[in-house]
Amino acid sequence: MRYKCRSLILGKKKDRKARDDTNPELCLCFVNLCNENNPHLSEHLPFKFLEFEIHKVIIEGLDVYFLVPGKDIVINNLESVDIVQEGPHLFIRGKQGKESKAGKKAGR
């Protein structure tokens, strides 16, 4: 499905109670869609919360930032993003604009 957003945060949920124990390779993953860049530095809440039970996330053609302390991934400067689950895989593709110098300093 295609979403219009400025950024997203991707991560693995810690709650394993909801996981299907018949397939231990699957984990709960979240994708939070936001209206501004660097949402991890903001007090604003995401406008959309998505959750998937998957084995692998495949991000194609986008610049990403890995947030080591939280183990999450941030993707900034989005115009739109396509998020599609195909079996145990989640594909994230989208259209991404250029990052300003101010955005680079804030995100790193």
Q: Does the global pTM surpass 0.75?
A: yes
What would the two tokens of residue 16 be? 């394993």
Structural domain spans, the chain: 2-107
Nearest Cα residue to 8 out of 74, 58, 89, 54: 74
Predicted confidence band at 40 (pLDDT cuts at 50, 70, 90)?
A: very high
What integer is the mean pLDDT of 18-29?
Answer: 77
What would the two tokens of residue 28 be? 């709960």
Q: Which amino acid is at 6?
A: R
Q: Which amino acid is at 81?
A: V
pLDDT for residue 105: 52
What pLDDT, in 10s, does the model give residues 46-82? 999 999 999 999 999 999 999 888 889 999 999 999 9
What would the two tokens of residue 34 be? 């936001």
